[in-house]
Chain A
Amino acid sequence: MIITIACREFKTLFLSPVAWSILAVLQFILAYLFLKQVETFMILQPKLAEIPNSPGLTDIVVPPLFGNAAIILLLVAPLLTMRLIAEERRNKTLPLLLSAPISNTEIIIGKFLGCLGLLAMVVGLVTVMPLSLLLGGDLDFGKLSANVLALLMLVAALTSAGLYLSCISQHPIVAGIGSFGLLLVLWLLDTSSQMRDQRNELLEYLSLLRHFQNLQSGLLNSVDVVYFLLFIGGFVFLSIRSLDKLRFQK
Chain B
Amino acid sequence: MSHLIEANLIEAKRLYRYFGKHCVVKDVSFTLSRGEVLGFLGPNGAGKTTTLQMLCGLLAPDSGEISINGINLLTQAKLAKQSLGYLPDTPPLYKDLTVQEFLRYCGRLHGLAKDHIPRAIAQTQERCGLQEVTHKLIGHLSKGFQQRLGIALAILHNPDVVILDEPTVGLDPLQIREIRALIRELGQDHGVILSTHILSEVQDACTHVQIIHQGQLVLHESVAGLNRHLDTGLLQVTTRLAPDLAVLAAISGITRIDTVADTQLHIHYRVSDNPTQRLTETVIANGWGLQELTPVKQSMEDIFVSLTKETPTQDKPS
Contact = CB atoms under 8 A, between A and B. Distances in A.
Q: Chain A interface mostly helix, strand, loop or mixed?
A: helix
Given A101-B111, A250-B19, A96 B96 contact: no
Given A96-B153, A100-B110, A250 B92 contact: no
Range of interface residues on chain A?
20 to 34
Interface string A86-108: 00000111111111111100000
Interface residues of B, number: 31
A95 B86 contact: yes
B58 A98 contact: yes
Contacts of B94: 12, 93
B18 interface: yes
A113 to B, nearest CB: 15
A247 B18 contact: no
A98 B88 CA distance: 11
A237 to B, nearest CB: 19
Interface string A222-250: 00000000000000000000000011111
A99 B96 contact: no
A102 B60 contact: no
Interface in A57-111: 91-103
A1 interface: yes
A15 interface: yes
A95 B97 contact: no
A153 to B, nearest CB: 30
B56 interface: yes
B109 interface: yes
A247 B60 contact: yes
10 contacts: A5-B109, A92-B88, A92-B92, A95-B56, A98-B56, A99-B58, A99-B84, A101-B81, A248-B59, A249-B59
Interface of A: 1, 4-5, 8, 12, 15-16, 91-103, 246-250
